[in-house]
Amino acid sequence: MRTLSRKTQYTLRALYSLARSYGTGPTLISKIAKEESIPQDFLENILLNLKREGLVESKKGKGGGYALSQPPENVTIGAVIRVMEGPLAPLPCASETAFRKCDECVDIRTCGTRMVMREVRDSIAGILDQTTLSQVCRRVDDARAEIDAEAHSQEALMYYI
C-alpha cells in the first residue's frame, strides 16, 4: 500500500491550523509554519496549490494571510487527499474516479485482486469522505485535554505523597 507523502501530511496539518482559526480572519504563513513545524518555503507552495484548488483563500497586505475558503465541517479528509495524492484506490482498476485496467489483468470482471482492492478502496473512502477537518480538530483537542487532565492528576497525586 502506498503511504501519504510528507507534502500531504504537511497539507493536512496546515489545514487543521486553518480550521482552528476559521472565522477569525487570515492566518500568516509564518504562524502556521511555526505552530505545525512545517518548513515555511514548503508551506508556501502547499498553500498556493490549495488556493488553486479552491480550498483556501488569501489576502495580501496588512492583516493578510490564508484562510479556509469554506467552513471546516464542509472539508473532508478524503477531498484533501485526492487533491494532493490523486485517487484513493490502491490499484487503478479499483478507482472510482480514475479507473484504468491494469496491464496484467486478464478479465476485470473476474479478477480477485480487483475485487479485494475495491473493498479496500471503499473502506478507505468511507472513512476519509465522512471525516471533516473540524472532526479531526475536535478529536485532537479532546486528546490534548485528556493528556492535560492526566498530567494534572499526576501532579496532584505527587503533591499528596
The pTM score is 0.86
pLDDT at 158: 67
pLDDT tens column, 28-72: 999 999 999 999 999 999 999 999 999 999 999 888 899 999 999
pLDDT tens column, 106-156: 888 999 999 999 999 999 999 999 999 999 999 999 998 999 888 777 766
Taking the C-alpha atoms of residue 155 and residue 161, their distance in angstroms, rounded to an integer, is 10
Give the N- to C-terminal CA distance of the chain in Å, as an integer: 50
Cβ density class 42-76: b for 16+ within 10 Å, e for less:
ebeebbeebeeeebbeeeeeeeebbbbbeebeebb
Is residue 76 left, alpha or beta, with left meaning phi > 0 and alpha meaning psi from -120 to 50?
beta
Is the CB of residue 121 less than 8 Å from the CB of residue 97? no
